[in-house]
Structure 1
Amino acid sequence: MADRILVFYGSYRSDRLGIRLANFIVSELRTRGSDVELIDAKAVGLPMLDRMYKEFPAGTAPPAMEALATKIKAAHAFIFVTGEYNWGMQPGLKNLADHFLEEWYWRPAAVASYSAGRLSGARSSFTWHGTLSEMGMVVVSSTLAVGPIAQTLDANSKPTGELGASLSKAFPRFADDLAWWTEAGRNQRTKKQPPY
């Protein structure tokens, strides 16, 4: 059975360069045999958080929220592709993630960050680690940090130049780390269900 991985991307800007990294990750994981889907927060279009999915009576959540909850519950692992806004998280991605809680539990997650500058979204990545842990995920130690994004991936999400070569070299360890934890979680579920 292929690993089912959801790749979350959260920029709402009109000129979105980070989508290059999200598309790169999806393509690379598919090459490795994973069943991958890109979840674009802007396309999903959830409103600013008023009620979490669990706060709706069964069958009454908005259709986009219900569909995404089903996908999250069926996934084996998650990757969060995040830019950095003023040293912090992208609000669109955080808003999407906050609509759910128990649906995330007991699965591994990885963080890939990017920016237009040389710091590669590292401060946002650091913040996401604690947040995802609080939301019940096991966050793998390997991360991807890409910047400047426009000099690393071209408009077709292909690595370019020296920075692109560095990303291509770093990706296998990132993917292997997530795959190891994904397999560990799937195997553990066959032996014992999570305690809550």
Structure 2
Amino acid sequence: MTNRVLIFYGSYRSNRQGIRLADYLVRALRERDAEVELIDARAVGLPMLDRMYKEYPPGEAPEALERLATKIRAADAFIFVAGEYNWGQQPGLKNLTDHFLEEWYWRPAAIASYSAGRLAGAHASVAWHGTLSEMGMVVISSTLSVGAIGHALDEHGAPTGDGGAALAQAFPRFADDLAWWTAAAREQRARSAPPY
């Protein structure tokens, strides 16, 4: 069965280098026969959180919110491409994520972090782990961390240099881990309704 994976990216900056990692993941997962879609928070353009999707009466949510809720509910797994801003989460990606809650439940999530520096978004990755767990996702133990993002991937998302080689070497385990949890969660959801 084909895995349906949504990849979320959240930078609003004009010179976005993390999109290279998102593009790499889209391509690499498609090569493994996954059905993949990139959800770019800047392109979706949700306002700062006022009301969650579930707080709108049926049929009254803004169109962008309704479309995204449908995609999230149909997905088997999620990857969050997490840039690090001052030891924390990107506000654009966090804002998009916070618009939903039950839509995320009972599916695995993976974190691919990055930064311009050598710590590779490690602080953001830790912050996202707790957030995604609280929102009802099972966060897999494998992560990808890419430091010096502008040197590890070229403008087309192709790995370059030592950083790119490290990413290419780490990706198969990351993808295998996500695929295993995706299959396990899908089988369990088919076997038994979630407890709440």
Q: CA deviation at 1:161?
A: 1.3
Q: Structure 1: state its 5+ residue gaps.
A: none
Matched ranges for 1:32-181 at <5 A: 32-181=32-181
* Aligned counterparts of 1:181 and 1:22: Cα–Cα separation in 2: 20
TM score, norm. by length of structure 2: 0.99
Distance (Å, rounded) in 1 between the aligned partners of 2:161 and 2:137: 34
Amino acid at match of 1:116: A
Q: Flag structure 2 segments of 5+ consecutive residues without an equivalent.
A: none
Q: Deviations over 1:155-186 (max 9, x none)?
A: 11000112111100000000111000000001
What is the distance in 2 between the residues matched to 1:162 and 1:81?
20
1:92-129 deviation digits (Å, cap 9, x = unpaired) = 00000000000000000000000001000000000000
Cα distance per residue 1:1-58 (max 9 Å; x no partner): 2100000000000000000000000000000000000000000000000000000000
Larger mean CA deviation between 49-58 and 158-167 belongs to 158-167
Q: Percent identity?
A: 72
Q: Whole-Å Cα distance in 1 between the matches of residues 105 and 61 of structure 2? A: 20
Q: Give deviations 1:63-101, integer Å, cap 9, x for gaps.
A: 000000000000000000011111100000000000000
The residue that corresponds to 2:23 in the other structure is 23
What displacement does 1:189 show?
1.5
Instruction: Please provide the CA RMSD for this pair.
Output: 0.5
C-alpha displacement of 1:193 = 1.3
* Structure 2 equivalent of residue 187 of structure 1: 187
Runs (4+) of structure 1 exceeding 6 A deviation are: none
Aligned residue type for 2:66: E
Separation (CA, whole Å) in 2 of partners of 1:189 and 1:104: 13
TM-score (norm 1): 0.99
Deviation at 1:190, TM superposition (A): 1.8
| Structure 1 SS opposite 2:89 | coil
Counterparts of 2:128 and 2:7, CA distance in 1: 14
